[in-house]
Amino acid sequence: MRIVDLLKRESIMLDAAPKSKSEAIDMLVELQVNGGCISDKDEYKKGIVAREEHATTAVGEGIAIPHAKNKGVKAPSLAAMTVPGGVDYEAPDDEPSTLLFMIAAPESGGDVHLDVLAKLMTILMDEDFRANLIAAKDKDEFLKIIDDMETKKYPEETPDSPKSDDAKPSDGVIKVLAVTACPTGIAHTYMAAEALEKKGRELGIGVKAETQGSGGAKNVLTKEEIAACDGIIIAADKNVDLARFDGKPVLRVPVSDGINNPEELIQKILDGKAPIYRHEGGAAETDISNEKLGRRLYKHLMNGVSHMLPFVIGGGIIMALSFLLDGGAAGTSQFGSSWVLPAFFNKVGNLAFSFMVPILSAYIAQSIADRPGLMVGFVGGSLAASGATFAYFADPTVPIVPAGFLGGLLAGFVGGWFMKILRGLCDKMPKSLEGLKPILIYPVVGLLFIGAFMCLVNPLVGMLNNALTNALDSMGGSSAIILGALVAGMQAIDMGGPINKAAYVFGTASIAMAAGGFSPVMAAVMAGGMVPPIAIALATIFFKNRFTAEERKSGPVNFIMGLSFITEGAIPYAASDPLHVIPACVVGSAVSGGLSMAFGCASPAPHGGVFVFPVMQNPLGYAAAIVIGSVAGMFMLALLKKKKVQK
């Protein structure tokens, strides 16, 4: 979705002169109403004001982007206002805001507002662009300036528009292709694609990157481009379908390499150092004999986690809403279901949440064994969640202890490897029996194996799962604070890498084990991921002499990244000065995670940042923990980083 698709002429006001922040909000809300996408003005404004109470949406550099996602909105929309004289919008740099955009997103409209926020912040960092908008003489010119800039910045989203001059080298030949993907598809995916394409332009080499993000694949590589290119870079932390690259040089690396080492990767393709990929059978895999076992396990795990997240996020938040709506029944057996609306939310949320373990197992197994592993993993995960055992089938009065998340992991890996071995054995069968494999042998043999295996191991894994749950429940005082500081600090060590993801997966698993689905561990993990970008943004404002002019210019963007729980916003700063930035961020994150535990905060959702604060336990304490941790990180940055020679 493009910015200009959301912005109508009726929702634009030029040369406005609000006297205060509240007056500016009133004017922008009225512009949104004029656009016809608001069904309940009061409800929508309530959401805007509530968001501002958490923290100002002014990000500095004269920019403010108030936004709300609630039931008062019937369709996504934007309103815009220029204020040449400026208005005090409580910006972190204490400068008046001159350019204001207000975003409206429907309650059931996914994360369209986050996508638009990211686009807006990217193009609004261009000083000339902002000046042109403020100087626009009429609404048509205002829209044209945005349209031209968005077309230039995102030419792949405007197929009928010509590419910008720097999109390709002058000969127009694309020599290197890439596919980028990270488990959550939020930040690393697009940062790696941008880094590779930008480096290609600098080298005068045509590079095109396909992004497999949370919203699906974009900038998809065509058959013609694949046939003509010198090779393909796969910068991904989850499995990517490689069947279409049969016979081409393919270089597989972590997504972080795409961000940090784009020139090296491009040069390897050009120098012919990438191995030739040969597609065999149904599995879309390259030869991974040289890939370390730990790396392969991590990729299989992340494939399961990335498919599981929508079920956990959606189910967790919807369940939390049922309790918020049913506060009068708190403490009773009907809490969350005492009347029709919370009962509906509770049922739908629980249903989505119940698929968490089967989906995790299914896509781990699919990552290992391709399609034959999918059904086996799903059934294995379901058996783990149910706690089925042979003893129970013999005597239904035997207590059942679900194997839960840990059982799901085991089912996914064991089921996937079994099906991979079975496929290898079946390859020796006569070709005349080829048709029997997918419709008879794989499903029947795989189902019998995983059923018997899970019924045998479920009691043992269930006991371990219970022990972990009891250990987490019994933690209090200093031990809980230490745990919160540890998992939060891990979020800042490699900012999206294996250590970060290990803590994140642990936090996600804790939601399934926590009473009522409210996890203190997940709250600490999310706090730890939010702090690094916010701490860096604060430091670029209050300790400007520690940063270059370019770093200070990009600083305000990190407020948005941090508040949205996108730790990767801190990566460019950490990459340029890891010995000082990473320890400072780890300290800030650890402080935040420890305080989150100390304040009794708990989260029902594994993502969402500030947007899920309303459904958390002790949201005010949680906000305080993040603020304190961010300030601690800011002062650590000021202490550790050396002053820059200002130009």
Active site (catalytic) residues: 67, 182
Measured CA angle at 282 (ends 276, 284), to 5 deg: 40
Give the pair of three-digit tokens for residue 408: 């799901």
CB 330 within 8 A of CB 528: no
Query: 446 is written with which tokens?
Result: 């795989």
1 close to 113: Cβ distance less than 8 angstroms: no
From CA 559, how far away is CA 127, in angstroms rounded?
Answer: 18
Q: Exposure of 177 by Cβ count < 10 A (0-12 exposed, 13-18 middle, 19+ buried)?
A: buried
Among 50, 51, 31, 56, residue whose Cα is nearest residue 41: 31
Q: 401-439 in b/e burial notation, b at 16+ Cβ within 10 A? A: bbbbbbbbbbbbbbbbebbbebbeebeeeeeeeeeebee
For 265-287, give the secondary structure using H, E and C. Answer: HHHHHHCCCCCECCCECCECCCC
Q: Which residue is associated with the tokens 């010509």? A: 162
Per-residue DSSP letter, 32: H
Half-sphere exposure for 458 (CA within 13 Å, toward CB): 25
Residue type, 150: E
Cα 42 to the center of its chain, rounded Å? 31
Q: What is the per-residue DSSP string for 285-296? A: ----TTS-HHHH
Instruction: State how far the Cα of 553 lies from the Cα of 183, in Å rounded to an integer.
Output: 29
The Cα–Cα gap between 608 and 620 comes to: 16
Cα(first)–Cα(last) distance of the chain, in Å? 39
Tell me how crowded residue 155 is: count the other CB atoms within 10 A of its CB: 17
Cβ atoms within 10 Å, residue 310? 15
Lateral strand order in the sheet of 174-181: 216-218, 206-213, 174-181, 231-236, 250-253
Count of C-beta atoms within a 10 Å radius of residue 108: 8
Tokens of 485: 């500081």
